[in-house]
Copies of this chain bind each other. A is one copy, B any other.
Amino acid sequence: MSDSPRPPRPRLPLRERKKLHTRRTIADAAFALAVEHGVDGVLVEEIAERAFVSPRTLSNYFPSKEAAIVAAGEDDLSLLADALLERPADESPITSLRTLLSAGVRGWTPDEIVALRAKERLIDEHPALLPHRMAQYDGLEDAIRVAIAQRMGLDPETAPHPRLVAGAAVSVVKTAIRVWVRQEGDEPSIADMVESGFDDLEAGLVPD
């Protein structure tokens, strides 16, 4: 373990960090209240109050109550993108993604996992949330696509391959989460499911 001179992680200016914090606070408040009272049982006013901002400010951060709720617990996509770019240049995209995504998932704390389950249940119960969660997955896909295209020296907009890889990888994560949420206990873990999902992908999706 050499302490490699970590490329200068440009520390965010205070203003940006504050924005991030506000955004998270709002999302967490929205999510907690939604779990407690149901999606339509909570007013944006209440969410704003719990997050110590005005309703007007909440509007600046999220275009809708639903978007705020779903945004809770989302992890930072720029980190994933950075990590993707730092993988060995000769590694295949799928391998990079397998490594990073399964590690990322494995790194979730028990609290985060509990929250995830709650979030899934909430979404199942409130169809109005679903579009926003799907848009979130699409955002993840975007981040992956752009990073992969960059790694491969392709145009992120028009190259099909990075899009496919990103879409498939996101499907693996989505599948792992959805199946995991529906199963009885906590085993197999989400990370295990991500791994086997990638196995399936790399085998060309042939049944068994």
What is A's interface to B at a CB cutoff of 8 Å? 63, 67, 92-94, 127-128, 130-132, 134-135, 137-138, 152, 157-161, 163-165, 167-168, 170-172, 174-176, 178-179, 182-183, 193, 196-197, 200-207
Contact = CB atoms under 8 A, between A and B. Distances in A.
A205 B175 contact: no
Interface residue SS majority, chain A: helix
A174 B181 CA distance: 26
Contacts of A197: 160, 164
**Which A-B residue pairs are the 3 nearest by beta carbons?**
A167-B171, A134-B134, A131-B131
Contacts of A159: 179
A160 B200 CA distance: 10
Nearest to A63: B128
Contact of A201 (B63, B152, B205): B205
Contact of A175 (B63, B92, B163, B201): B163
A201 B164 contact: yes
Given A132-B131, A171-B171, A207 B158 contact: no
Contacts of A168: 167-168, 171, 201, 205
B134 A160 contact: no
Given A167-B167, A179-B158, A193-B160, A204 B203 contact: yes
B183 A158 contact: yes
A144 to B, nearest CB: 12
13 contacts: A63-B128, A94-B204, A130-B138, A131-B134, A158-B183, A160-B179, A160-B193, A161-B205, A163-B175, A163-B178, A163-B179, A164-B201, A164-B205
Nearest to A173: B167
A160 to B, nearest CB: 5
A205 B164 CA distance: 8
A131 B197 CA distance: 25
Nearest to A141: B171
